[in-house]
Amino acid sequence: MLFVCPIPGDSLGFEHSLLNRIDAPMLDISATFIRDSIKNDLSAKYHLPEQVEEYIMDKKLYQ
């Protein structure tokens, strides 16, 4: 079984027995947005799980 979440601008035009759509709010946030935010000393705190943010900061990724 595969779970999918909607993203802005994407339309899943088919159904499949192994496909389950998750009813979640659509957020227009990309990995590029997060990397650029960190690179420009802006917080990504509310866009990432806390452990992921800590790992990125500890390893000084994207800086």
Looking at residue 47, what DSSP letter applies?
G
- State the Cα–Cα distance between residues 57 and 54, nearest whole angstrom: 5
10 Å Cβ neighbour count for 38?
19
Task: Look at residue 28 in the predicted model and tell me its pLDDT.
Answer: 76
Instruction: Give whole-number Cα distances, 6 to 1, 3, 34, 58, in Å.
Output: 16, 10, 19, 31
Q: What is the pTM of this model?
A: 0.56
pLDDT tens-digit map of 2-58: 888 777 777 666 677 888 888 777 777 888 999 999 999 998 888 888 899 999 999
10 Å Cβ neighbour count for 29?
15
